[in-house]
């Protein structure tokens, strides 16, 4: 996808019809600007077609709900559905790595070695402080 196209190079970055009574010309649209429009439209069309393809929908110029239908179909597949609790994640190690959790993502809560201490295992009195045994 191309970066955002620059605005038209006119005062206020808007098009102007000019004023024939004063001889003020309207905005002259340069080829570079029109090419940017063409590239941007084509990029957006390709992105939309990619979404349709991902949902298994063939583009139809007579329909104007295809993008919404495609997004609905993709979401309906239930990828990363909360109720599945990660069961639909194929490469769990890569998923955890991409979250940036490193080894911490593999630790469990508890009182044993290599566990993240449960705060209920800490206790104190006026004269003492008990640390979990797995520490």
pLDDT digits (tens, 9 = 90+) for 6-39: 899 888 999 999 999 999 999 999 999 999 999 9
Q: Hey, what are 8's tokens?
A: 């038209």
For 72-120, the pLDDT digits (tens) are 998 888 777 778 888 888 888 888 788 877 777 778 888 778 888 777 7
End position of a domain, from candidates 59, 77, 95: 77
Same domain, 23 and 69: yes
Same domain, 18 and 69: yes
Domain around 47: 1-77
In angstroms, how far apart are the furthest CA atoms of the chain? 94
First to last CA, the chain: 51
Same domain, 53 and 119: no
List residues bridging with 24 in a β-sheet. Answer: 19
Q: Hey, what are 117's tokens?
A: 């201490």
Is residue 134 very low, low, confident or very high in pLDDT (cuts 50, 70, 90)?
low
Per the structure, the count of domains in the chain is 2
Same domain, 6 and 71: yes
Tell whether the model's pLDDT for residue 135 goes beyond 90. Answer: no
Same domain, 2 and 42: yes
Same domain, 58 and 101: no
Predicted structure pTM score: 0.53
């Amino acid at each position: 996808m191309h970066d955002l196209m620059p605005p038209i190079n006119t005062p206020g970055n808007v098009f102007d019809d000019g004023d024939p009574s004063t001889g003020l010309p309207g905005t002259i649209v340069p080829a570079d600007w029109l090419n940017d429009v063409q590239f941007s439209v084509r990029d957006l069309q390709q992105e939309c077609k990619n979404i349709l393809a991902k949902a298994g929908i063939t583009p139809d110029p007579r329909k104007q709900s295809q993008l919404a239908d495609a997004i609905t179909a993709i979401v309906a597949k239930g990828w990363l559905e909360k109720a599945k609790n990660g069961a639909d994640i194929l490469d769990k190690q890569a998923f955890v790595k991409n979250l940036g959790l490193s080894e911490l993502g593999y630790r469990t809560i508890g009182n044993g070695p290599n566990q993240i201490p449960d705060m209920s295992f800490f206790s104190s009195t006026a004269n003492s402080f008990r640390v979990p045994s797995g520490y």
